[in-house]
Amino acid sequence: MNDLAPLLTPEGRALLDEVRDTDPAHELAVATRLRREHPAELVSAALGQARLRQRAVAKFGERDAARMFFTPNGVEQSTRASVAAYRAGRFRELGVTSVADLCCGIGGDAIALARAGIRVLAVDRDPLTAAAARANADALGLAELIEVREADVTEVDTAGYDAVFVDPARRGGRGRIFDPEAYSPPLSWAVEAARTAPRAAALKVAPGIPHEAVPGDAEAEWISDGGDVKEAVLWFGTGRESPVRATLLPGPHTLASRGLPDPAVRPPGRYLYEPDGAVIRSHLVAEAAVELDGGLIDATIAYITADEHRPTPYAAAYEITDRLPFNVKKLKALLRERDIGTLTVKKRGSAVEPEELRRKVLPKPAGPGSVTVFLTRVDGAPTMLLGHPVR
């Protein structure tokens, strides 16, 4: 079924409530039973929507996901609610009261903006996607603040809005699109649309965007949530206190560029810090290292080392107990000697696959001990650093 309308009827809504908690293992039996009382196509659509809602819980939370309407692409590509709420908060801090949300998808960002008290024009050219966005605005009681329009975003007049938010499609028939000019619409078009916004604008881009592709008048912000890098955003109209930021959620915790030189390389100290992915993507490892009074273990490796522990939201800290040249036999013997049964393998600057190493050195884990081993380079030399997370 390529139309949400039947699911929005009283019969469709009742059916959605009935199949809400259907276990995938029992779906066939449930479908067979329900098709005795309802059209087969409606039953299939309801069960499909139930599956999408279950997948959407991770992004939208159980309460909202249970009421919203999704498409497969909408679940996959929509912004996580925590990230959308953070971005909406930044718009509000910039004095924005209305936003043209271009390429709105199923409405995740529009919902966050409306909940921040911002009036939204949500635009998408796909009829089913636009219908889902409209249904979601209604389901969450936000229809008065969200106008959904089915249209080509390049033909929409945004003159009546304070700000523009553009989330170009970054997937095609062959998967992810890495060239910003192959986005739909292209990044160059989105940048020009942003520059015409009266107050501010934000463009959501892939976190792997090359720094050289960032326009000179934009502020680039990399955002992670729960340790996972989710996106990069190009901001316009922020005043550019810093051209680059890394923001970690929950928090938010924001690390801003200070134009620092690369940290000095020094021997591993007592502590090793693994910077958050957003810090690495934003090239702000130097800023994190200064906060930690640390240096790098290698000029090309984003591991920070220090002699003293300093709590920081920008990196995970480990206390290092051993430093060994890379040697599988020595590592295996050490793990056996210490009765290690749980081994966490991390790598940076090593070609060794963690699972392969784990099979070789710990074929039959049984002991009560645990350890983390870092496969890396120390001043160019392949090295193993062993340690434990600092709680």
Do the bridges between strand 244-249 and strand 253-256 make them parallel or antiparallel, or are there none, so unpaired?
antiparallel
Q: Are 128 and 148 in contact (CB under 8 A)?
A: no
Give 198-241 as a DSSP string: SSEEEEEE-TT--GGGS-TT-EEEEEEETTEEEEEEEEESS--S
Across the chain, mean pLDDT equals 94
pLDDT at 79 over 70: yes
Task: Report the alpha-carbon distance of residue 94 to residue 68 in Å, rounded.
Answer: 29
C-alpha dihedral (85, 70, 157, 218), degrees to nearest 10: 40
| 391 confidence band (pLDDT: 50, 70, 90) | confident
Mean pLDDT of 5-9: 93
Of 173 and 48, the structure prediction assigns the larger pLDDT to 48
What sign does the CA torsion over 306, 310, 311, 313 have?
Answer: negative
Residues 6+ apart with CB under 8 A from 88: 109, 112, 113, 115, 116, 118
**pLDDT of 259-299, one tens digit each?**
999 999 999 999 999 999 999 999 999 999 999 999 999 99
In this prediction, residue 1 carries a pLDDT of 47
At 10, the amino acid letter reads P
pLDDT at 121 over 50: yes
> Which neighbouring-strand residues pair with 296?
265, 304
**If DSSP codes are grouped into helix, strand and coil, which group holds residue 352?**
coil
Share of the chain above pLDDT 90, in %: 87
* CATH architecture observed for domain 76-255: 3-Layer(aba) Sandwich (3.40)
What the block records as the tokens of 187 is 């990044």
In this prediction, residue 241 carries a pLDDT of 81
| 2 confidence band (pLDDT: 50, 70, 90) | low
Residues 6+ apart with CB under 8 A from 132: 4, 68, 69, 70, 71, 74, 106, 107
Task: Report the alpha-carbon distance of residue 106 to residue 114 in Å, rounded.
Answer: 14
Mean pLDDT of 105-114: 97
| 24 confidence band (pLDDT: 50, 70, 90) | confident
Q: Are 132 and 74 in contact (CB under 8 A)?
A: yes
What the block records as the tokens of 99 is 């936003």
Share of the chain above pLDDT 70, in %: 99
In this prediction, residue 171 carries a pLDDT of 74
Task: Report the alpha-carbon distance of residue 335 to residue 322 in Å, rounded.
Answer: 12
Task: Report the alpha-carbon distance of residue 279 to residue 275 in Å, rounded.
Answer: 6
pLDDT at 244 over 90: yes
**pLDDT of 139-195, one tens digit each?**
999 999 999 999 999 999 999 999 999 999 887 666 777 788 888 889 999 999 999
Give the highest mean pLDDT range of 25-29, 38-42, 309-313.
309-313
In this prediction, residue 179 carries a pLDDT of 82
Helices (H), the chain: 10-18, 27-34, 40-65, 72-77, 81-93, 108-115, 127-139, 187-195, 277-281, 285-292, 328-337, 354-361
